[in-house]
């Protein structure tokens, strides 16, 4: 059986055509994953901010103005946000954040723009909105029941599991 040895350099030409495409696609995947990680950093900081504002809601029922002041304290990776979020930490706005509603919930709404800059591709951007709803710790105004007792009970087991009388219990 004879082999044709006349195809010298074909593999080099194929590699030189395919390698830039492969490297570009790997870089694109890397940057998309980093942008998603930046979104997760914003979400985690938003959850911490909402929980903090829900905790202090008993002091001020309209504590929507403190979101921007508290948010930056909970951001873990500001450099990542500078790279993938337009405006970095300051690029996250809280328009649409509401105070405590009639059901006792606090809603934190964050709006921001994710930006991807890849070589040879125009800048890609996407507007994102995240809403986090958290029950405010404002207690419960309980009147006296039929027996004249105004105490509410929360049962705590030996393993520190807690059982409430109802799902609406805020204690």
Write the pLDDT tens digit of every residue in 51-99.
888 877 767 655 566 788 888 899 989 999 999 999 999 999 988 887 7
List, for residues 9-67, the tens digit of each pLDDT value. Answer: 777 888 888 999 999 999 999 999 999 999 999 999 999 988 888 877 767 655 566 78
What is the model's pTM?
0.72
DSSP 8-state secondary structure symbol assigned to residue 3: -
Measured over the CA atoms of residue 67, residue 73, residue 75 and residue 81, the dihedral's sign is: positive
Position 152 pLDDT exceeds 70: no
Q: Which residue has the tokens 């996407």?
A: 126
Across the range 119-147, mean pLDDT stands at 77
What is the CA angle 140-44-54, rounded to 5?
Answer: 15
């Amino acid at each position: 059986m004879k082999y044709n040895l006349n195809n010298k350099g074909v593999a080099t030409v194929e590699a030189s055509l395919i390698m830039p495409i492969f490297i570009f696609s790997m870089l694109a995947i890397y940057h998309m994953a980093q942008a998603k990680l930046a979104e997760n950093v914003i979400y985690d900081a938003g959850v911490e901010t909402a929980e903090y504002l829900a905790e202090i809601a008993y002091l001020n029922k309209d504590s929507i103005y403190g979101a921007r002041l508290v948010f930056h304290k909970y951001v873990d990776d500001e450099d990542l946000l500078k790279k993938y979020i337009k405006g970095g930490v300051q690029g996250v706005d809280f328009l649409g954040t509401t105070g405590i509603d009639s059901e006792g919930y606090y809603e934190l709404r964050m709006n921001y723009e994710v930006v991807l800059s890849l070589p040879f591709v125009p800048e890609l951007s996407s507007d994102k909105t995240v809403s986090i709803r958290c029950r405010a710790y404002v207690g419960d105004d309980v009147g006296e029941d039929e027996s004249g007792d105004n105490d509410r009970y929360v049962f705590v087991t030996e393993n520190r599991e807690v059982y409430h009388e109802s799902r609406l219990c805020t204690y």
